[in-house]
Chain A
């Protein structure tokens, strides 16, 4: 096991004036044995970052170290890592056992030891009865487990996961998520996990890296990222449904939005973006007036979509046991001041 240090990492494609920079100087530390999830929208550079750690992409500038060793110029096979790919990347013509053993065989490990490791991994992942099958005879979830088995038998310093759950159906995804969590607890291997799904990020991570446009927006525990988002981007990306962001102007104890003035606790004056999560507003006799437009029933709760003032959209999460509002109703919202977030109107940074 080992820590991963990423220092001032830059990735450019192409040369000279036509070069396109996709990662703009990223710094991050993954501690020994930690499970870190990189999350962000498509094209934010999260997969590129992971592939650079794996050695599948060259580093344009900066440094990657695994343990004490800088690995910029080390071949992927010699980095002591294992990677799980989105589409599993199993060798179609090899059986499950051969798939798992292939890397060890190339390492010239004695046959008895290979067998022992494959058996152990198969036992952990409950693949014992499938060892002789070919990948095409397996279901998606089983293939996923074989891909993880291939990573486990290597006994690496670092696990890298590149969106390994996105090809699975919803139910299997939840199940595999739990399995990965269990696996990490048992093996304790440093893991870097890339996903675009914030639920996966929240549930799996010990720490989350939120990326946007080739930069790290925030790095922190799930609680920190959810409770104290560093920017409007993080605020809207983490949490579902997304945090309500209200652009407006704070003046003498009131927050002026288009067509209304809302009562808010005193704070910084001037142009601001206020943030309030749908789950942190409650119904009250008086407070922010919300005109209801649409309602979605989710079972345990209802999502109420409406407008504050003339045109500021707002989503509210209501317990399903409460009497449902109707479109056109006026509701009043109250909230605890600790749940109110303030962001700079221009930069989107937390104030």
Chain B
């Protein structure tokens, strides 16, 4: 459908601009606040132009040690967040690839049962089973550890189904050709399926990395030690309740730092990400 009315174009652009402003303005305020001194922010009205203290604030945040709330070093938190997100992402992809491979290419007893068991976990995210999962993790002494932060989040029905759907589109003749070529099932998996899945893997990597990075509720439960806080929790804990003055400049600098890795992942993998969701290379 093609509408040829100039004022419609203007209206459409105006609406888009409002949308951009709504999304971008808070980000801009975060950025501006991260470049000011603590005094300048508290001073009403807050300045809307960037100041000159970005580097100071960032290094203060990374080093830690000031402020009314928690003062753990952000560098450590970023590291915890990064390791957690990576382990969750890589673990999810590896396990999902293997389980999808099993479900699609092997006939084993109770195959349907396993398929539906994986399916049912879609309805049981961590939030629903949080108490029993916490009990299990606590009993296994995995509190305040990377294992506790990651293992319960690794199993993923979504990723398994994504790969299952992709594997179903791979022609059967490819399996048969590789059998005649003398490839064992794992060899076929490694030499043929994995290279064909790269775009799907890339798409999933982006989604799952952000999922892992943004975890809040679960880390809140299983970590009590400051050295094991991911950065998302760190931000919250920097803001003390009550009357005490918060170092908003440091908090905002931390928020900015916390946004960087997911943004970098999206920007670096954007091309593959879109490709993986849109088409399958064949």
Contact = CB atoms under 8 A, between A and B. Distances in A.
B26 interface: no
B179 A56 contact: yes
Contacts of A76: 176, 179-180
Interface string B166-206: 00000101101111111100010001100110000000000
A93 B187 contact: no
A165 interface: no
A33 B100 CA distance: 43
B282 interface: yes
Nearest to B179: A76
A103 B281 contact: no
A89 B171 contact: yes
Interface string A89-110: 1111100000000110011000
A91 B175 CA distance: 10
A90 B180 CA distance: 12
Contacts of B180: 54-56, 76-77, 81-83, 103
Given A87-B171, A136-B282, A107 B196 contact: no
Interface residues of B, number: 18
A335 interface: no
A47 to B, nearest CB: 12
Given A85-B173, A89-B174, A92-B196, A106 B181 contact: yes
B181 A77 contact: yes
Interface in B68-109: none
Interface centre among B178, B180, B183 (most CB of A within 10 A): B180
A106 B183 contact: yes
B265 to A, nearest CB: 24
Interface residues of A, number: 25
Nearest to B282: A92
Interface string A69-88: 00000011110011101111
A88 B178 CA distance: 12
A82 B176 CA distance: 11
Contacts of B183: 77, 102, 106
* B171, B174, B181, B196 interface centre (most CB from chain A within 10 Å): B181
Contacts of A91: 174, 177-178, 191-192
A127 to B, nearest CB: 18
Given A102-B191, A106-B187, A136-B282, A89 B173 contact: yes
A76 B175 CA distance: 12
A90 B177 CA distance: 8
Interface in B135-178: 171, 173-174, 176-178
A108 B225 CA distance: 53
Contacts, number: 63
| Chain B interface SS verdict (over half) | helix
A102 B181 contact: yes
A92 B281 CA distance: 8
Contacts of B171: 87, 89
A79 B96 CA distance: 34
Contacts of A92: 196, 281-282
B176 A56 contact: yes
A85 B177 contact: yes
A65 to B, nearest CB: 18
A88 B281 CA distance: 16
B271 to A, nearest CB: 17
Contacts of A136: 282
A103 B182 contact: yes
A125 B191 CA distance: 26
Nearest to B177: A89
Nearest to A81: B180
A253 to B, nearest CB: 57
B181 A85 contact: no
Nearest to B174: A89
Nearest to A160: B180
A83 B177 contact: yes
Contacts of B182: 75, 77-78, 103, 106-107
A103 B176 CA distance: 12
Contacts of B177: 83, 85, 89-91, 150
Nearest to A56: B176
Nearest to A162: B173
A106 B183 CA distance: 7
Interface centre among B173, B179, B187 (most CB of A within 10 A): B173
A315 to B, nearest CB: 38
Contacts of B281: 92-93
A89 B282 contact: no
A102 B179 CA distance: 11
Contacts of A90: 177
| Leading 8 A-B pairs by shortest Cβ distance | A77-B182, A103-B181, A89-B173, A89-B177, A93-B195, A106-B182, A85-B173, A76-B180
Interface of A: 54-56, 75-78, 81-83, 85-93, 102-103, 106-107, 136, 150
13 contacts: A55-B179, A76-B176, A77-B180, A77-B183, A81-B180, A83-B180, A89-B173, A93-B195, A93-B196, A103-B182, A106-B181, A106-B187, A150-B177
Given A87-B173, A92-B281, 13 more contacts: A54-B180, A55-B179, A56-B176, A75-B182, A77-B181, A78-B182, A81-B180, A88-B173, A93-B196, A106-B183, A107-B182, A136-B282, A150-B181
